[in-house]
Each structure stands twice: as C-alpha cells, then as structure tokens.
Amino acid sequence: MSLATNDKASPVGHLPGLLIIDDDPDIVALLSRYFGANGYRVIGAANAAQARALIVSETVELVLLDLGLPDEDGLSLLRHLQMNWRGPVIVVSGRGEAVERVVGLELGADDYVTKPFDLRELLARTRSVLRRSVAKAEAPVAGECLVFEGFSLDMPARRLTDASGNEVPLTTGEFELLKALLQRPRQVLSRDELMTSVHGRDAGPFDRTIDVGIGRLRRKIERNPGEPQLIKSVRGAGYLLAAEVRRT
C-alpha cells in the first residue's frame, strides 16, 4: 500500500461519507488519513455490529468492506447491506482467490479490491463507483424511461419495474450494466465496452466482473436464466440485448 499526498480533484461542497469496515486499526487509520486528505468524510467500524449501527445513524454514501471481520463473515454483512441499504459497496479484502471475488460480486459488491492495494487506485475506483451511484444533477431529458419486454427502467429514479409494477431491486453496477445494454439494443457489446460504461476502466484478461454482472441481471429479468432470451452471449465477442427498446 503506497501512501501519497493529496491527489487534488477532490470533491467540493458536500463531503461524501465513507464507512470503512475493517478490524485492523492501522488500515482504518491509513484510509481515514488518505481519504480525509482527498475530500471525504470517513467513519470507521471495527466489526459488523458497529457497521450495522453506523449505516443507520450516519450519512454514508459508500462502504469499503473487509471480509475478515471478528464477529461476522463479511459476505454475510454484504448480503445484509444489499437487502437493507441502497448505497454502493467496494470489497477491500485479503481474500484474493477468484471464487471469493466472484461470490462478492454475485452478492452485489460494486467492485472488489485485494490487499495489499495501491491507495491511488482505490481512490480512483471509489470516485468511479460514486460517480455512477449518485443521481445526475442535470434535469432529466425526454425519453428517460426505457421499456422492454414488459419491464420499465426509470432512468432518473434508477428504478426497474416488471409488467405487474413490482420493483426489481438493482445494485448500482446492475443498473449501469442494464442501462448500457438498453441504450444499444440488438448490438453486440464487448466486455471492454461494457466495463468502460459500467466501471470506467478496461477489463483485464482474467476479469470476470462483467460476466458476473450479466449473470445477476439474467436471474432478475429472464424467465429461464439458464437459457437466456433477453441478454444473449455472443461467443468471443460479448453480449447483446435481444429485445426492442422504446422510450416513454
């Protein structure tokens, strides 16, 4: 982990609140100093119980979550956050195995960073996730509701409903991924194109972030996720949304 000085381009006005959940006080202190110097308001939690209390009592825009907590497995806490809180979560963990990364992303994490990490990269990923999660400041334009196969995606509200009007909960990453597909229906989009749209960076050669996100979306909108009819895989090329999309 490399500690750098203020990286400028810090947010102004409202300071985004970061909740760092890690039982290592040195890590919490390091991240608190670094993010504090770069324009963020940082809160620390040493265990899951503290985190559950703080997420209710404090204004938090993003969570940095370690998985190795003393009182509860971090994946269980991640599941709780996805069910009871709507903000983005970046897993920051020493568990770097592929299966752990996949499980974390499957449970709704918006990004996954392994320890030891570079502070500049973690800051960049945090800014990217926050940019995607906050509502756009500009007024909505015409055609902000995208309708397809009985579903309706309300763009300003970032809300997906099915044909019966029931809300289909989406994480920040799932919303951005679905939006990217809906904006270019019946077109093959490569993993790199989708990664740039969703995460603001290129996909690495072994990066399965997009594949995991597609799998989560299929389970939410496909009648049979095992035989997808809406989001189709194009071997060696990427994915396409095989549906007509209209704006209302």
Segment 39-73, tens digit of pLDDT: 999 999 999 999 999 998 888 999 999 999 999 99
Topology (CATH) of 17-133: Rossmann fold (3.40.50)
> 217 near 179, Cβ under 8 Å?
no
pLDDT of residue 14: 62
Task: Reply yes or no on whether the pLDDT at 144 is more than 80.
Answer: no
- For the question of whether the overall pTM of this predicted structure is more than 0.75, the answer is no
Task: Reply yes or no on whether the pLDDT at 87 is more than 80.
Answer: yes
- Matching fold, domains 17-133 and 145-247: no
pLDDT > 90: percent of the chain: 50
pLDDT of residue 248: 78
pLDDT of residue 156: 84
Which tokens belong to 220? 């939410």
Among 188, 210, 239, which residue's Cα sits nearest to residue 110? 210
User: SS3 for 101?
Assistant: helix
User: Any idea where the domains of the chain sit in the sequence?
Assistant: 17-133, 145-247
Which tokens belong to 187? 């077109």
pLDDT band at 155 (very low <50, low <70, confident <90, very high): confident
pLDDT of residue 16: 86
For 145-247, the fitting CATH number among 2.60.40.10, 1.10.10.10, 1.10.600.10, 3.90.550.10 is 1.10.10.10
Residues 6+ apart with CB under 8 A from 53: none
Task: Reply yes or no on whether the pLDDT at 198 is more than 80.
Answer: no
Q: In this predicted structure, which of 10-24, 118-132, 160-174 has the lowest mean pLDDT?
A: 10-24
Which amino acid belongs to residue 46? A
pLDDT of residue 202: 52
In total, the chain counts a number of residues equal to 248
pLDDT of residue 9: 40
